[in-house]
Every structure is written in structure tokens, then in C-alpha cells.
Structure 1
């Protein structure tokens, strides 16, 4: 090789080596540049007085301020530095603006969400907030933007997606609350749309049988279990006559994953003085976690030299401590499954399709062009047609246009009044604030230092008038029909200091009669989980904080006991085979828990799923006859219907092509067994932990190389627990926080959280505390000693 070419080759190799070394180093330094500021001093003209921000070993943030307004600014600063990307995702999720970050892949989500026009609604909502709420959000906004500007490099997620963060607006906090409404409510009201088709296709007896609100598994806080409707007679419905081609399998109907939660409280008479409150909110899990360990301390504006000192789960994007304790009152939430939506039938004027009938004649719809910005692509514009009730988003079973009325879209449906709860001194004060707050309607459970406890519905409840069926689309063009504002707080159902001294909420039907009519039925959970909590509370005459954690971590498989017994019975009846013998042997090892090593639990659960899906799909097939694309909605109460059928075994309600109920059960046994046996190691190797392995991921990890994704994600670990038991757990779903506390004795409480405090992978708080959450090891409720202190001060 000529010397010149040799020199050029050496130079090229040297440059390549330098690039190989320099690029990762540049990336590393860029990543470090977006680390939050944990120590030192920050000055800003927006602050009135100095604020001290402390972080303990888990990254728990303690904000010590001289006013709540300064605390709002400080929380905004801290949230932006630790979690700006996640805050951005929440506001964009509610506004339908994800494609601006992620490109065309996010367009399907944005198209659906943008139809609600939440950004415009929340801008109007902000303008009508009381002055103190607007001031709080303005201060928080200024803190967020100051914290973002104070990062040397933009947050790493924006580097990875080739984006720049947009500034925070005051109304963005309301969008974060709206994002929670999208999570906790069925914003598309698919359930009611499906019910409309079921109502049109099925006889009344079959419709009532499938859509009832409760039955034998009910565990209301007050009231009795409901009676499940009778089995439809053969004279009205014979499923055997259907074309078998209409069957689909309906997978996913059994135990749908729905946002839920557990909350329970024990009165002071059973707890030795102060009440006890426990809460674990079940949501999709991600890295970092939704919640933010937070303590806020500032003088009580009511005077007398007192201090507000509140600790609990903060929500980045808002300055609120959503659930926790202030030393006098502790509180928590579960999703209420109140009925928050209604479809309204829109009768158009045949001569002018822009006009529609209303009680006082005709009104004209408004059309809005919503422009969706697409990162790396062309913008897209969708047209949204609005009525006085809400946007037109669907069609009824007969083709009539439907407008959606939704609590979150209504004036007053979303605000930040909940911040006031941290100043509550008694349960009664906390209840009053919760009932008057603009949040997605939630079960609210609270207890105070004096020993009082209470349950109510927090958030706005629509006042329905006119006697229409809220489970089906209705005509609101008649005078006196529809929503007439909000139910007054005085009519919110309330159970306070019951004689039994215990309250429990696990997304079940909570009450009965008129109280239930006010709340409505938005799809209550079965009640098995609530019953397990209730019965364990009843089994104790004295309870302490440690007992709360034992209940939250209870993974006993009580719900599947009868299914295990039925499987054993059917296996003994079934024709002998090697697979059936293996299943019998596995079943003999039943250990009563959804433990990670349990094979029998996984087997019974899989078989139940096959049975429920098979039985329900026959009813769905009857609806597919007139509506070929029909899919069953989420039917959390379907266990009641299926078990009644298994008890009575009516021949006319068998799926088409099925000889008898014994044949159905054997076929489902074989399907469940063969699916498990086909996997490596055979059926005997199918532990519950193999299926229920944590996969709690960062939002970006799906699009990154595997070695980077594993670095960003939490460890893949087998987890105990499942749906119908207190320890709700799926690979990426479960307790997004878990706490138990006696107000006034927070030092002996606990607060656990998956995924860690910080959103920055180089932060010492990225994943901190996650192992305690996995293993159920109690982490102290109160922050520990400060490891880092950041001083915030006025610049004037």
C-alpha cells in the first residue's frame, strides 16, 4: 500500500475510533445536563418569600414555604425538573396532541381524543375558576417554566424524540385532571353503545340477564346484595338455533383490566383512638410512576399560628397532594364507576342537516376544525360537530346520530378545588371539599384523628331529569329531559361513622335504592375483592396499621375456590387422558393463593376464562345476527350470569353446535389445558409467576434497542396477586401507590410506590423504593432525613 494511502487509512481509523468514543460521551454529558438541580440556590422574582426544598433517600420532596402560593411555585419547579416529559404526555393525552411528539403513529389516539376539544374547554374552564384557583395555577405554571428553563439540557426524552418541550400554560393543569378523567371514565361510552345494540337484538329477559348491576358477590358499604335476574326462557331465546359462524370467542370479556383501587377505613373505636385509612390506587404502571412522593408544609392561612403539614401522593402537572394525610385527616380514593356519560339521540331537520331538535324548537350545530400537528409529517384537520349536549361522536343502533354528554366536558366538571382538602381538620370538612371538587367522580374514604370515618362520592354528579334510562341512548329534545346541572352536595350519598366501624371500597356497587340511582351504574366491579377486604376487616375487633398492609397484600384466591372445585368434579367425569391426569395432579397442589409458584392457580384461572368467554360469546352471537361487527362490552358482573347458567344448565342457552353442558365444560378444559401444555416444559411448568411477571416500562423503551429498554425499565420480576383479590397485580397494572396511616401518627404509617420518584435514568431516585413495592416491604410514610437541600428565594 502506498504511504499516502496508508496515512489516509490510519487517519480514517483514528477518526472512526474518536467518533465511537466521542458520540457516547457526548450523549452521556447531554444526559447529565438534564439532571434536576438538587442543591444550591435558585432566585426568582415570582417568589414572595424563601422556600426550602428537601429530598430524602427515596427522593421524597418536602417543600417548606411561607404560603401555599410559594409552595405551588416550588412544586412546579421541582415537577418540571423531575417529570416534565410525563406531565407533557398527560396534557397532550387529554388535548389530543400526542402526534406532535410521536408522529403519525399517535394519530389514531389524537383523532379520537381531539373530538372532545378538551384544550378549548379547559381554557374556558380556567377563565371561570375562582380567583384563588387561577392564582394557584398561575404560580404553579411560573414554577414549571422556571424549572424547565433551569435545566442545562432539555429532558432526555425530548432528545430521544428530536423534540423541544413547549412551555406550560395555566390551563394545562386542568388538562392533566382531564387526562385522569379519560383514564377513569369511558370517554367513548362504548358500554352504552353496546347496550343499545344488545337491547335492540335481544329479548328483554336476555338483555336484563346480561346487564344487571349486581348479585351474590355484591359487597356494598350500606345495603344488601341484589338478586340476579332469572335465566331467559326458551320461548324467548334459543341460542342453539344460531349459525355457529357467528361465534368469535370474545376473548378479553373475562376480568377486563379496569382502573380501580382499594380504600378502607377503620373507626377509632377499633383502632385505639385515631381512625386508620388505607389506599392503593390500581392503574396502568409505568416508569416513572404517575404519583410523586410529596410533603408540603406552610402556615395555615386561617391564623392561630397553625401549620398545614400534608404528606402523600402528589400528581406532577398539578400542585395538589391527591391522597394522603395532614396529621388530622387522612383520605384516599377509588374509582366510583358512577355513570358519568350519556348518549343523546340527535334528531336532524330533514330540510337542514345542521339543525337539530331541542326542547324549545330547533338549534344549529357548531362545526369546529381541529388541526392536529404531526411530528415529521403533514398536519391533519378533523371536523367536530357540536350540539348543546356535547359533540356528535357515534350513531345509535338504528343509525340516529348521537351526541355525548360527559361530566368532564361540562362547565364546573373540572377544577382544582381538591387542593383545599389538605386544610381539613375533620372528616366532615374533608367530605365537604371532596363533594364540591371538579374531579372524575370517585369513591372518597376518609378518617380523622378523633376516630371518625366516612365514605361519599367526590366530584360532580349529573342531575338526571325526565325519567330516561341512563343505560341507553335517549331523546333529550323533550322538555324536562336530560341533565339539569349537578346534584347538590347534600344529596351525594354518604355513609359516616356506621355502627360497624368499618368502610371498604373496591369499585363495587357501594349503596342501594335512591342513593344508587343518583350515582348510576357505570360498570361496577364484581365485588369479590371488596368482599374479601370487608370480611377480613370484620374478622378483627382491633386493628393497627400493620393489619392494613396485610389486607392490601392479601393474595388468597377465595374467588376461584368454587371454580377449582368444579374443575375437579368435571375432570373426574371427563374421559381419561394423559392431559386430564396431569391436570388432576396439578389441581391436587392447590395452595389457595395467587403465588408466583402456583401452577394450579394458573390452570383454574385459565379454565374459568375459557368457560366464561365461551358462554358469553353465544349471547354475543345473537347480537351479531343484526350487527355483524358487535363485540361484547366490558361486563364486570358477568360472573353472576355465567355461574347461574352453570347451576341451572339450560339447554336452550348453549352455544350453537354444543351437545350439552358437560360437553362444553370438557371442551373448555381441553382448550385451556392444551394451550398451557403447548408451551416449553409442558403444563406442569406453567407457574402463575411466569405469566404475571412485571413489565413496568418507560414510555420510550418500546421504540429503543432492547439493551437500552432494559436499562430504562424496572426489573422483570414475578409478582403474586391478581384481579379478584386485594393484591391486584398484572405485569403492567396494579397498585400505583400503597399506603396506610393513622392521622396524627404518620410516623408509624407506610407509603410504597413502584417505578421510583425521578424520571431521569441517571438520578439516584430513578427506581428508588421500587423493590419495597415489589416485595411488600413497608416504606415509611413520612420522608426521612434530608440528603439534599435546594433553597429557593425571591430575586428582589
Structure 2
């Protein structure tokens, strides 16, 4: 063979070998970062032997002789299965994501870094009781041991060309803070928008748009509120509004409201023990936020009993967030308590660094926050702090505004909640919940004796001085502002109500003085809560499986009246081929947000167009003074819009509409044309097409499509929507579903999307997801151990 041909052949073979070797090398690297599932290990941090079991779904059972050793073992397991996800949570709160992801993450980091959470959590850690610090230190040591025991760093760091940074004890507090960022409006944008509305609208219009409740209310205790009267033409007339001030859709029709369903029935309606159900609604991802966990260890109170708690763990913390310990079961929903206030910072005109406080003048502190950026130069931002919080905005008159936020305050975050797993009845559980420093949450609890209760868990600020908490206030006036935390005995509480049922779906839960203490942080419309409440009221006996029927309820009760109104308007509208199609579709209404429902999708789209058009008139009135104004999330706006549609006042009709019928028909035509313009026309537009789950790994968007589809969960149409118990959107919904009667965990269920492990080669990657999507219950308790890992003291 000529020399040239031999050379070409060698080169070709070399290239082929490289092409074949690269996938093999990648596979070997992935294999190297797989968690350790079996074997015996020793570590000097342990005091006694710990056994870690995994069942077919990857549910982890930790059997230890102390909670401290269990914390270490949980840290080890969490690091091996989920370190990248834990890392993102701590970095999200600390404003350190750009260190991993480069300049694209800078906007998020700039926003978070203004809160200086790492510095605050370092101080919070130092202030914790020694028992809590010891628990966090043990958990930290386990995390770092688990990370060090991986032969290759987790694959996400290989993909992003990074190396993991060891865990610190304060990082666990940062994970709790990350949940506060998720569940609270950390920038308090809603109240900034209300501030502008208050300045630009007459008092009657501001009250009409911003009311706290109406006919859809479903409080646990109390009655629905009355929606304010329609503003008179002498106060506001939108007919004279410049049409150029209208923007059309502004995203307030169905705002994503991070929240949950939780409900309980007393033991007298079950078989002796209470039944508690919980499905927490959050952004969905791969792997899931929660971690199926069981922890067993002797009761530290010396009772001779064992603490045996099962439920949803949160990697990054050693706690079981929601679950059951055989005596007590509990769950959470976001309370939408008012957790933040804007404070007017009145500066000294001769020295802007000084600002007025009740005792005279104080000096702001300026902090240079350096943000490390992967692949680019670092960026430094300056944060100016007051005693109330950082200065982040300005009032309508230009006065600087400082943000007072629960999560920023000393004592606002701790890990007290871990003690709830030792509670023996609802009274002990309530005491722990109310004393815990977590983002304020609705806490629903039931016990083996049959008792049930609701309260607010977490810190609630004690407001004094009679200021309006929805608008900026001057706290330099003595006796005005936050005066510590609300005493635990002042937290609202509903225990063992005579109606024997408790329901929570992010709605207003109480009224009167209790509501004033908690505040209105933008809680959800009560439609979802009312549907749960009414279903509970319709039955006098419950089993655990009845709870799942409620959680999977996709009946479109909320849209029924909109469907009826649309049918009425069609009869009044001029005939057209498109309207004929709409009539045909409406005839097939099945009353559910099912995947094959075309009518549901059409009615929902029409309602969105109507609500946006009606509210945009008010927004346009605000834009006369603030041209860049956008309406905030107004979860109660349904009540205002429906009242307008009932009364049809001509002076509140947005410009460009001859009358209210014309507005409704124009909205229908817009919605119908958008649907009809898609392939197959309007009759092919099923709800499932719109509501296809796309639950993705955080890195998949930046990877080739074939890799992304391998990392992501299957794309599949799912029933459900907002304003019904089965909350479902493409990447949002029930991050878990469980129901359990304490003491009868063997008959409970626990379902979870996205899987247990974060490693794509793990047998537990995506485990259980198919059952969650299908609504098929999986057992609450772990199954037989398939893998066992034992740790012993060195």
C-alpha cells in the first residue's frame, strides 16, 4: 500500500477511535459520579452506626441512634444524589449563580445580592441555639463527606466547566431563604404597583381594584367579604382615556400563584385518626425539589419510644418538611401573609448619608457586593442599608424606600421546624410550627386521636402605629413600624372546628382582627378552596383514597358562568362562520379541564381576553401619571371584573368599544382567531395541547435537543389548571401529593414528579414520575430495601 494511503488510513482510524472514545469517556465520567448505594463506611464524625436503606423508588430510610448521626447520613445522601440542586438553592438566595452560569445569571444575582443574604445567614447561624448549630454542623460534615466520596464531580459541574464548592453550615439557612424568595414577593413589586395606583386613581377606584375579597371567598373561619361598589362617573370616566395608553394583555388574568392545597378531616369523619392531605404547588423540575425520606431514631426525651417520621425532605436541609410520624401528620400551603413593607427613608438635606429615625438621625451603611462571574469579569454593586432594610426603590415623590422583609430580619430564619417530628399531638405540633422561623405558611395538622387544626407557622411581624401596610410609611415617627414578632398566642388558630373539616388553598383564611394581624400579601382567589371545601362538606365519611379524588379534581366549576355568558353573547353577536364553529365547540362542553377538551380551552382563552381588556382600562388611567405602569398580580380581580360585567357601567368601558356587548364579542373574536390560525383550526385546539407537561432538567435548555430529551421527563398532556384542585401547567403544579392518617401510614400514599435522584444514570432518576402523571398513588411508606449502606464510627 502506498505510503500516502497508509497515512490516510491511520488518520481515519485515529479519528474513528476518537469519535468512538468520546461517548465512552463521557459515559465513564457519568458512571464515576454515581452515588454509592451499598457497602460499609467509617467516619470519625459519627457517634454510632447508621443504616441507610433505599427502596425501589429510591426512598431513603435512615436508621440511627441519634438525630445528629441521622443528620450526617442525610447530608451524605443528599450530596451524592442532589448536590448541584442544593448548590443552586443556596446560590439563588445568596446571589451567586453567575459564578456557575456566567453573565446570563447576573440579573438574578443583582436582585438577590441586594438582600445580602449570605452575610445575614452568617449572623443568623451565630445567633442560633447550640443544639441547632450542632445539627447544621453535622449535616454539613455529612454533605462534604458525601461530595468527597464521589470519584468524579457531579455531571452538572462537568457540563458547566465548574467544580463544586464545599458546604458551609450557613448554606442550609440560605436554602430556607431560597424558599422565602420563592414563596414571597422579595422585591415587593405588588406594593410598589399599589403605591402608584393609589397615587393616580381616585380612592373609590383604588378600593375597587384592590379589595381583599368577595363572593369567591372560602375562609376556614368567617364569611365572604363584600366587594366595594363600582366607582361613579364623577370619580373616574374611562371613555375620555387616550387609547394610546392601553397595552392589551398584561398578564394578570391568571397569575402564577406559588401555593398548595392542604386539607384535613377529623377522626370522627374517618376511622378514628384524622386524615391530612397536602399537595404543594411549585415550579416543576428534574429532579424534584422534594426527597422521599424516612428517619428513625430514639426519642431524645428518654421516653423509650422511637421517632419514626416519613415525608418530603428538602435537600439542603436535614428536615422533613411535611409528612407523618405515626402520631401527627402535617402539611403546608403558602399563607400569603404580608411579609414585607416599604419604609420611607427621609434623608438629612445637608448629609444624604443620614436619615431620620425615631430617636433622631442614623447613618446608612454602604456595602460593596462583589459578584463573581464565570467566564467574565467580576461585577460589584453597592447596597445601601438602613436599620429597616436595604434601599431598593423610590416613592412617587422621589423619597427613597427601604424594604423591611421578614426573611431579612434577625430571627427570621432558623431550623426550629425539625422539632415537629417529635410532636405527639396537634398541640405540640402547633407550638413548634408557630415558633419556627420559616416563610409564614398555612399549617394544617391532624393527629392519631382525631384532632385537626390550622394556624400560621413562621414569623409574623408585629405592626404598630396604625399605618397602611400596603403603602409606604414613615417609620421615623415614634411608635410606628415593626415591633418584633407577633406573639405565638396571637397567631390565628382554628382547632377542632364543629364542622370537622379544614381546607387551605392559599385563600383568605380568617377575618377581622386575625386578618389584620396576618395582612393581605396577595392571597389567591377562593375558587379552588371553595371547590375543596364543598367536596368535603358533601360527604360524612372519608378514607385516604377519597383525598386523592379531591386532589385530582379537574372540574371547571370556576368557568361555568363564563361558558354561560359566552353562549349568551354568541346569540347576540352577528352571525359568522367563526361564531358557528364556536357554538359547535361550546355544545361539547364537558365541564372539565381534560386533555381532550376544546371548549374548556376556548372559554378560558376568551375569559383571559375579557379580563385583560377590562383591567387595562384602569391601568391606562394610571399610565397617565406613570407611563411605564403595569398592573400587579391581582388574584382577586375576577370579583371586580364580574361586578362590572353584571352592572355594565358605560363610564368604565375602555375606549374603543361601543358597549359592553361589543367588548365581549371583540374579545371572543381575538381569542377565536388566535386559536383558529393554528394548524387544524380552532376545533383541533384541545386543552391537552396547551397543557403539555415540560418538566425539564435545569441544564437541558443549553444542551443539544437529543441530550435534553434524555434528561427531561416525557412531554405529555395533563388535565387540570388553576382555579381547581388539580393545579397543572406545563412546568408548574403539584410538587408532591400525599394523604395519610397518622398511625395508619401503611394505607397512605405519596406521589412525586421528576424523580428522586439527580443523576441520569441512577435507577432512581425519574422514579415515580409516571405514577404522578397518571394520578396513580404510590405507597406513603418505603418498600423493601433494595440497597443498604452502613456507616460506622472510625
The TM-score bracket by the shorter chain reads over 0.9
Show the counterpart of 1:468: 467
Alpha-carbon distance between aligned partners in 2 of 1:263 and 1:713, rounded to the nearest angstrom = 28
Alpha-carbon distance between aligned partners in 2 of 1:252 and 1:623, rounded to the nearest angstrom = 16
Contact 1:91–1:173 (CA under 8 A) maintained in structure 2: yes
CA-based RMSD of the aligned residues comes to 0.5
Deviation string 1:491-534 (CA, Å, 9 cap, x unpaired) is: 00000000000000000000000000010000010000000000
Alpha-carbon distance between aligned partners in 1 of 2:717 and 2:662, rounded to the nearest angstrom = 35
Matched position secondary structure for 2:252: coil
Q: Cα offset for 1:250?
A: 3.3
Q: Cα offset for 1:304?
A: 2.6
Alpha-carbon distance between aligned partners in 1 of 2:303 and 2:281, rounded to the nearest angstrom = 39
Confirm or deny that 1:335 pairs with 2:337. no
Matched position secondary structure for 1:36: coil
Matched position secondary structure for 1:323: strand
Show the counterpart of 1:155: 154
Show the counterpart of 2:697: 698
Alpha-carbon distance between aligned partners in 1 of 2:133 and 2:756, rounded to the nearest angstrom = 28
Contact 2:260–2:333 (CA under 8 A) maintained in structure 1: yes
Show the counterpart of 2:184: 185
Show the counterpart of 2:452: 453
Deviation string 1:710-736 (CA, Å, 9 cap, x unpaired) is: 000000000000000000000000000
Q: Cα offset for 1:610?
A: 0.3
Contact 2:249–2:609 (CA under 8 A) maintained in structure 1: no
Q: Cα offset for 1:8?
A: 1.6
Confirm or deny that 1:205 pairs with 2:204. yes
Show the counterpart of 1:403: 402
Matched position secondary structure for 2:36: coil
Show the counterpart of 1:371: 370
Q: Cα offset for 1:656?
A: 1.3
Matched position secondary structure for 2:717: coil
Q: Cα offset for 1:373?
A: 0.1
Q: Cα offset for 1:397?
A: 1.4
Task: Give TM-score, length-normalised by structure 1.
Answer: 0.99
Alpha-carbon distance between aligned partners in 1 of 2:28 and 2:656, rounded to the nearest angstrom = 66
Structure 1: unaligned runs, 5 residues or longer: none
Alpha-carbon distance between aligned partners in 2 of 1:723 and 1:410, rounded to the nearest angstrom = 33
Alpha-carbon distance between aligned partners in 2 of 1:251 and 1:399, rounded to the nearest angstrom = 26
Structure 2: unaligned runs, 5 residues or longer: none
Q: Cα offset for 1:399?
A: 1.2
Matched position secondary structure for 1:23: helix
Show the counterpart of 2:232: 233
Matched position secondary structure for 1:261: strand
Q: Cα offset for 1:305?
A: 1.2
Show the counterpart of 1:676: 675
Alpha-carbon distance between aligned partners in 2 of 1:403 and 1:21, rounded to the nearest angstrom = 59
Alpha-carbon distance between aligned partners in 2 of 1:258 and 1:630, rounded to the nearest angstrom = 21
Matched position secondary structure for 1:474: coil
Q: Cα offset for 1:408?
A: 0.1
Deviation string 1:468-502 (CA, Å, 9 cap, x unpaired) is: 00010111010000000000000000000000000
Show the counterpart of 2:241: 242
Confirm or deny that 1:751 pairs with 2:747. no
Q: Cα offset for 1:557?
A: 0.3
Confirm or deny that 1:112 pairs with 2:103. no
Contact 1:40–1:789 (CA under 8 A) maintained in structure 2: yes
Contact 2:294–2:308 (CA under 8 A) maintained in structure 1: yes
Which stretch shifts more, 248-257 or 489-498? Answer: 248-257
Alpha-carbon distance between aligned partners in 2 of 1:42 and 1:615, rounded to the nearest angstrom = 65
Deviation string 1:302-336 (CA, Å, 9 cap, x unpaired) is: 11310000000000000000000000000000000
Alpha-carbon distance between aligned partners in 2 of 1:234 and 1:63, rounded to the nearest angstrom = 67
Q: Cα offset for 1:251?
A: 2.9
Alpha-carbon distance between aligned partners in 2 of 1:509 and 1:535, rounded to the nearest angstrom = 16
Alpha-carbon distance between aligned partners in 2 of 1:580 and 1:398, rounded to the nearest angstrom = 50
Contact 2:327–2:424 (CA under 8 A) maintained in structure 1: yes
Equivalenced residues, count: 794
Alpha-carbon distance between aligned partners in 1 of 2:288 and 2:514, rounded to the nearest angstrom = 35
Alpha-carbon distance between aligned partners in 1 of 2:73 and 2:304, rounded to the nearest angstrom = 22
Alpha-carbon distance between aligned partners in 2 of 1:326 and 1:665, rounded to the nearest angstrom = 53
Alpha-carbon distance between aligned partners in 2 of 1:17 and 1:244, rounded to the nearest angstrom = 65
Q: Cα offset for 1:272?
A: 1.9
Confirm or deny that 1:688 pairs with 2:684. no
Deviation string 1:221-269 (CA, Å, 9 cap, x unpaired) is: 0000000000000000001111100000133110101101000000011
Alpha-carbon distance between aligned partners in 2 of 1:557 and 1:662, rounded to the nearest angstrom = 24
Alpha-carbon distance between aligned partners in 1 of 2:425 and 2:197, rounded to the nearest angstrom = 47
Confirm or deny that 1:622 pairs with 2:621. yes
Q: Write the mapping of 1:539-688 to structure 2, written as runs, cut at 5 A.
A: 539-688=538-687
Show the counterpart of 2:172: 173
Q: Write the mapping of 1:351-362 to structure 2, written as runs, cut at 5 A.
A: 351-362=350-361
Alpha-carbon distance between aligned partners in 1 of 2:752 and 2:395, rounded to the nearest angstrom = 43
Alpha-carbon distance between aligned partners in 2 of 1:46 and 1:756, rounded to the nearest angstrom = 30
Q: Cα offset for 1:428?
A: 0.5
Contact 1:740–1:750 (CA under 8 A) maintained in structure 2: yes
Contact 1:250–1:631 (CA under 8 A) maintained in structure 2: no
Contact 1:250–1:632 (CA under 8 A) maintained in structure 2: no
Contact 2:259–2:333 (CA under 8 A) maintained in structure 1: yes
Alpha-carbon distance between aligned partners in 1 of 2:339 and 2:101, rounded to the nearest angstrom = 31
Deviation string 1:77-122 (CA, Å, 9 cap, x unpaired) is: 0000000000000000000000000000000110011000000000
Q: Cα offset for 1:3?
A: 2.1
Alpha-carbon distance between aligned partners in 1 of 2:257 and 2:82, rounded to the nearest angstrom = 25
Show the counterpart of 2:524: 525
Matched position secondary structure for 2:138: helix
Alpha-carbon distance between aligned partners in 2 of 1:655 and 1:475, rounded to the nearest angstrom = 36
Contact 1:250–1:616 (CA under 8 A) maintained in structure 2: no
Q: Write the mapping of 1:494-533 to structure 2, written as runs, cut at 5 A.
A: 494-533=493-532
Deviation string 1:124-144 (CA, Å, 9 cap, x unpaired) is: 000000000000000000000
Contact 1:35–1:760 (CA under 8 A) maintained in structure 2: yes
Matched position secondary structure for 1:162: coil
Deviation string 1:689-720 (CA, Å, 9 cap, x unpaired) is: 00000000000000000000000000000000
Alpha-carbon distance between aligned partners in 1 of 2:55 and 2:573, rounded to the nearest angstrom = 60
Matched position secondary structure for 1:124: helix
Q: Cα offset for 1:4?
A: 2.3
Contact 1:40–1:790 (CA under 8 A) maintained in structure 2: yes
Q: Cα offset for 1:361?
A: 0.7
Q: Cα offset for 1:748?
A: 0.2
Alpha-carbon distance between aligned partners in 2 of 1:621 and 1:42, rounded to the nearest angstrom = 66
Contact 2:284–2:695 (CA under 8 A) maintained in structure 1: yes
Deviation string 1:375-418 (CA, Å, 9 cap, x unpaired) is: 00000000000000000001111211100000000011100000
Alpha-carbon distance between aligned partners in 1 of 2:2 and 2:434, rounded to the nearest angstrom = 84
